[in-house]
Structure 1
């Protein structure tokens, strides 16, 4: 098995880091790997905020559901779906371009997430652990102020990175769903009720897995949680500029 493939299979989220900094050369290499990611039309429709201010880290750890490990992470990168930079570039050339729409946002999200994953893969190769923080989408009003974001720049994901503590290295990776439930041939197919139960039972590895109880708890803890509802609310605010043609810049 080649090293890249093995790394992709073994990589897991890390939330506890050693109390040591990441070398500047490695940090630069991780960022450079992000820049080499596939990008629509070579536009690089994203920007990255390198959070070096410790107070800002603390504030972001609070806006992201009070997750203290964010403030303690050696490296914190925020990947922005950036539709502003090209608008400004067009304006500099004396052009009157249309305002960004839904398609522009979705394309910039693709670019940003692909770049982030390149950074994750590169970080893994240098022995760094990482964790995606989707909660950066919450608390739109406060995050916009903290990061000086305008209406056409969306913080689509945050990455925290550092050297994982020993227990994090030893911890097993969560089991994924099996291929038969995820890969569809030629067209999408909704799973049957039986398949849903099989899918979760197989992943659990337990002969006594209680599907209904698991779903009840997971739905309450995740899908119907306050943080999930807040993320949905804030996401709607971010979307507004891309859906409302009358939105002021």
Structure 2
């Protein structure tokens, strides 16, 4: 197994960091790696916000579901799906561009997520831990205010980075589903009840499937933060559907 594959297998979310800085040359490498990611039409449909202000870090820790560890991260990057800059460029050139639509947003989100994952892989190769923060999509009004986001710009991904503590290094990576349930050959197939139970059996070893699934549904899918994420996403989408 080569070093890149081994790094991908090993990588896990890190939420506890040592109190030491990430050298600027490493930060530069991570940002450059992000910008080398595959991109639709070589458009780079994203803008990366480098969050260096401590007060802003603390505000984001609160607005992103009160996760205090965010404020302790040595590096925070917000990857925005950016449909504005190309629209502005077309206007500057005297073109008559249509308004950005949902398809443009979806393409930009794909570009953005690929760039973010490149940053994660680069950081891991340097021994730097990372954690995705999906909560950046919540609290539409507050996040737009904090990050000064104009229309047609969507905060798709937030990443925090830092040197993992020894405990975090030793912590076991969460188990994944078996590949046979994730990889479908040639077309999608719906899984029946037996296969769904088999797929998630490793998650509820000490409980029944019904107990585990009900608790998970309540904690995640039906949670207030999940509902808020859907509300906020709809607000962002509204800009593209008008």
Q: Confirm or deny a common fold (TM above 0.5).
A: yes
Q: Secondary structure, in 3 states, of the residue corresponding to 1:5?
A: helix
- Aligned equivalents of 2:88 and 2:20: distance in 1? 39
Q: Secondary structure, in 3 states, of the residue corresponding to 2:200?
A: helix
- Aligned equivalents of 2:97 and 2:4: distance in 1? 42
Q: Give every structure 1 segment of 4 or more consecutive aligned residues whose post-TM-superposition deviation is greater than 3 Å.
A: none
Q: For residues 23-53 of structure 1, what are the alpha-carbon distances to aligned partners after superposition, in whole Å with 9 as ceiling and x for unaligned?
A: 0000000000000000000000000000000
Q: For residues 175-230 of structure 1, what are the alpha-carbon distances to aligned partners after superposition, in whole Å with 9 as ceiling and x for unaligned?
A: 000111111111111111000111111x3383x54110000110010001110010
Give the Å deviation of 1:69: 0.6
**Does residue 237 in structure 1 map to residue 239 in structure 2?**
no
Q: For residues 81-140 of structure 1, what are the alpha-carbon distances to aligned partners after superposition, in whole Å with 9 as ceiling and x for unaligned?
A: 000010111111111211100110000000000000000000001100000001000000
Q: Which runs of 5+ in 1 are unaligned?
A: 245-249
Q: Which runs of 5+ in 2 are unaligned?
A: none
Q: CA RMSD in A?
A: 0.9
Give the total of aligned pairs. Answer: 242
* Aligned residue runs from structure 1 range 112-151, under 5 A: 112-151=112-151
- Length-normalised TM-score, structure 2: 0.98
* Aligned residue runs from structure 1 range 1-249, under 5 A: 1-201=1-201, 203-204=202-203, 206=205, 208-244=206-242
- Length-normalised TM-score, structure 1: 0.96
- Aligned equivalents of 1:145 and 1:63: distance in 2? 11
Q: Secondary structure, in 3 states, of the residue corresponding to 1:18?
A: coil
Q: Secondary structure, in 3 states, of the residue corresponding to 1:97?
A: coil
